Amino acid sequence: MLGKIGSNWAAIAASVVVAYILTPFSIRVLGDSGYGTWLLISSIAGYLQLLTLGAPMASVRYVAKYAAEKDQSGLDTTVGTFYVMYLTMVLLTLTSGLVLFFVFQRVWTVPAEIVQASQWAFGLFVLYVALIMVQQFPNGILSAYQDFVAINLVAISGFALKLGLTISLLTWKASVIVLSAVPAGVTPLEVTALWILVRRRHPEIHFRMCDFRIYMLKRVLSFSAYVLVLNLGAQLAFKTNAMVIGAFLGVDSVPFFAVANSLVLYLTEFIIGIAAVVMPTTTALHSKGDLDQLRNFYLRWSKIAYSLTLLAGVYLLVAGPDFIGWWINLSYRRPSGNVLIVLMLSFLIFLPIRGVAQPMLMGIGKPRLPTIMFIGAAVLNLALSIALAPRLGLIGVAVGAALPNVLYAIGVLVVACREVDLSISHFIRYTFFRTTAGAILAAIMLYWFSRAIDMHRFWGLAAAGVGLLIVFTGIWLAYVYHDDPYVDLGASLRQVWERS
């Protein structure tokens, strides 16, 4: 389990490193208006990903189910049905992209000097989204078999190639076209590698359109409909801010929010690295009827997810604004830093639930309530952001995003505890009490440390991070996980050390 999640984290770390390098580089080369325009394009065209209809997560669930039961007939029918679904979705994406292109031209205003380039960039991004859909089919099959190491090796290779190509091409020609052309060119290589892995590792998988069955399509859609709504909620909650800011505050303001938002989204990706393994694992435990193991699994990984969120969250709350000022430039320190603090406070509560409770409910076939709550939170997010942006600017958009996240997390927590027959008070005592107390102590020490050194330079930020990691490790070993009933942290660390 830890090795699979570790490979997910390695891939996420690679994506963060690429973004860490490319974000300030792209802003410097393209300017706030150019980079803000590309963020707007990716936000609008990103809605096309909803046309997957929740198929990627559904494919993981059903392929994992029939593989675990060794039901070859069910496996063939599932894969054949998804094969037809994905072909249809790609055609819908390319067609719908044309409609969105005209909406983009009519609704939003971009600087006159990059209008033509933005049109090409939009078309290329639509192509990229279609290719991503193709990629998700073999990716979902490999995830169902928990081949996360292989998946992530392909992903890391792709990130490295995208980084080199983007820097080279932007240096040669500064244009928003490059930011869409590079991923559209690299993704076919990743797709090819994933198909080869499926063929070699799982010869029992057959891609045949003749295995398509209407009854399986209905079964898949009954599950994936909830996933579709969840994806819509995620798009509204996390990817629509650029559209709101671009409409009310101008494209120049988009990067100031996006920089802060990207930091919490990178952290979200790390936690979702846990979620990617939680779902198939809980599906297997639920299929066996092992409620005790499922309950222990839920508690153990919720506390781990919260601990990791606190480690990053404490650093971002205390040193985040200084980091942004050093990373991008000093003009971003205050506006982006304030947005970061508002968002991070809500994500301290939201991420542990998003990383463990939500995928657990999906894995055991209980997606209805979390789906309804998530789309409700997303709609509230959009409404609050639109209402507050003209009055409070970027902070208004941040508050509009933060409050619904907290409400959603509380609702899903109640549902998840009920499904595994666990009292909420026991969950809170185990997951939050010691970890929060330890984090407060670490935050006080980091704040004191930040006052004693120069946090405007790399060495100061790095020293603060290393110091926080050391303090956290000590507190978590000596206090947070001392005599833990579900995790022997000391033994786990010794085992990792012996293996390495």
What digits encode the pLDDT tens for the residues 145-201? 777 788 888 889 999 999 999 999 999 988 889 998 999 999 999 989 988 888 888
How would you write 56-76 as a 3-class SS string? HHHHHHHHHHHHHHCCHHHHH
Q: What is the pTM of this model?
A: 0.73
Q: Are 360 and 281 in contact, with CB atoms under 8 Å apart?
A: no
Separation CA 37–CA 31 (nearest Å):
10
List the Cα angle 20/25/27 in 5-degree steps. Answer: 105
pLDDT above 80 for 249: yes
Q: Are 90 and 134 in contact, with CB atoms under 8 Å apart?
A: yes
Mean pLDDT value across residues 246-255: 85
pLDDT digits (tens, 9 = 90+) for 76-120: 887 788 888 888 888 888 999 888 888 888 878 788 888 888 899
pLDDT digits (tens, 9 = 90+) for 263-292: 998 888 878 777 767 777 787 777 777 788
- Inter-helix orientation angle 2-45/241-248, to 10°: 30
Q: What is the CB neighbour count within 10 angstroms for residue 113?
A: 9
Identity of the amino acid at 40: L
Structure tokens at 329: 């430039």
pLDDT at 54: 67
pLDDT: is 367 or 267 the higher one?
Answer: 267
Torsion angle of alpha carbons 313, 317, 321, 326, nearest 10°? Answer: -40
Q: Are 159 and 15 in contact, with CB atoms under 8 Å apart?
A: yes
pLDDT at 496: 54
- Please enumerate in sequence order all residues whose Cβ is within 8 A of that of 390, keeping only pairs 6 or more positions apart, or say none: 248, 396
Handedness of CA 171, 175, 180, 181 (dihedral sign): negative
pLDDT: is 235 or 243 the higher one?
Answer: 243
Torsion angle of alpha carbons 203, 207, 211, 213, nearest 10°? Answer: 120
pLDDT: is 134 or 50 the higher one?
Answer: 134
H/E segment holding residue 232: helix 214-238
pLDDT above 90 for 342: yes
Percent of the chain with pLDDT over 90: 31
Residue 454 DSSP symbol: -
Q: How confident is the model at residue 49 (pLDDT cuts 50, 70, 90)?
A: confident
Separation CA 382–CA 388 (nearest Å):
10
Mean pLDDT value across residues 53-82: 75
Q: How far is CA 141 from CA 138, 275, 298, in A?
A: 5, 16, 24
pLDDT at 224: 66
List the Cα angle 82/84/85 in 5-degree steps. Answer: 60
Q: How far is CA 8 from CA 4, 104, 143, 146, 154, in A?
A: 6, 34, 11, 11, 11
pLDDT at 485: 83
pLDDT at 160: 93
pLDDT above 60 for 2: no
Separation CA 451–CA 443 (nearest Å):
12
Structure tokens at 301: 């990984």
Q: Domain spans of the chain?
A: 1-223
The radius of gyration of the chain's CA atoms, rounded to the nearest angstrom, is: 23
